Chains A and B, each alone.
Chain A
Amino acid sequence: GENVEQHPSTLSVQEGDSAVIKCTYSDSASNYFPWYKQELGKGPQLIIDIRSNVGEKKDQRIAVTLNKTAKHFSLHITETQPEDSAVYFCAASINTGFQKLVFGTGTRLLVSP
């Protein structure tokens, strides 16, 4: 089955800096890659996603890149703010007619003022 590895497990940055979180997946059939943000005591919330026919997608301060050949994808957050502090999860899904996401182990991002 699919296996998703995520690193780093923790990331500390100063406000205004950029943050990059990287994930690799094992199954070349995976074709959907969302990123979820989980704040303390809350459920994960989708922040951005990318499909395998696209190499990069951007939404304001966040962007995701996908390298299908290398089977890895990354989340980029620019101009980080304290409210970006949370745990971020990458995930991968194969089109089997329904969504079966396999999540990474998460990255705890801490943005210091």
Chain B
Amino acid sequence: EAGVVQSPRYKIIEKKQPVAFWCNPISGHNTLYWYRQNLGQGPELLIRYENEEAVDDSQLPKDRFSAERLKGVDSTLKIQPAELGDSAVYLCASSLAGEYTGELFFGEGSRLTVL
């Protein structure tokens, strides 16, 4: 069975440019997470979806970040405009709904470099 798929794996952009990341979770996983991982740090939650609903976006910088999960499957995370401090790895993860102690399955991440 395929794991969590993310694209692109790498993205280099100039500051003030927009960028978007795409995630396809494991089939049957209703819960989807976007994490940001800065260099040498642990992942930090940006937003969590239960199906189509964003149930926790308290850590998402809403002035420049947006996310959507249409039809409750794939998700897109967008940054517009990007700033130098947004350089990081953006990780998508999924899990079975309703399992607060369930395993998170992470994708390989999208590494963003903002110049």
Contacts and interface: CB of A to CB of B under 8 A. Distances in A.
Contacts of A49: 101, 103
Contact of B100 (A41, A44, A89, A93): A93
B106 A44 contact: yes
Given A32-B100, A43-B91, A103 B42 contact: yes
B13 interface: no
B102 A44 contact: no
Interface of B: 4, 31, 40-45, 48, 50, 55-56, 91, 93, 95, 99-104, 106-109
Q: Describe B's contact surface by its main secondary structure.
A: loop
Contact of A91 (B4, B42, B107): B42
A51 B108 CA distance: 27
Size class of A's contact patch?
Answer: 20 to 34
A37 to B, nearest CB: 11
A99 B42 contact: no
Contacts of B103: 34, 46, 49
A103 B109 contact: no
Nearest to A32: B101
Contact of A106 (B40, B55, B101): B40
A43 B100 contact: no
A36 B45 CA distance: 15
B108 A103 contact: no
Contact of B43 (A44, A46, A51): A44
Contacts of B99: 99
Contacts of A43: 4, 91, 93, 106-109
A89 B42 contact: yes
A93 B56 CA distance: 14
